[in-house]
Amino acid sequence: MIEGGWAYVYAAYAVTGLALAGAALVVALRARHWAKQARKLDTTANRPNPGPASNP
């Protein structure tokens, strides 16, 4: 039986945790960014038209 395998086990779990958490973070940040941009677009689209500018 292989002795002292715990270092390899912890290394594998650490790599997996970092990779999956990193992927989740990148996806969450991207989703947040485009949701914000889309909300901004909706706000602009719903703003009432000020009409033609009048000369003073």
Binding site for other proteins (CB under 8 A): 1-6, 8-9, 11-13, 15-16, 19-20, 22-24, 27-28, 30-31, 33-35, 37-38, 41, 45
Between residues 39 and 48, which has the closer beta carbon with respect to other proteins?
A: 39
In whole angstroms, give the CA distance from residue 36 to residue 1: 55
Cα distances (Å, whole numbers) of residue 6 to 2, 19, 26, 52 = 10, 20, 30, 73
Between residues 15 and 52, which has the closer beta carbon with respect to other proteins?
A: 15
Shortest distance in whole angstroms from residue 56 CB to other proteins: 28
In whole angstroms, give the CA distance from residue 5 to residue 16: 17
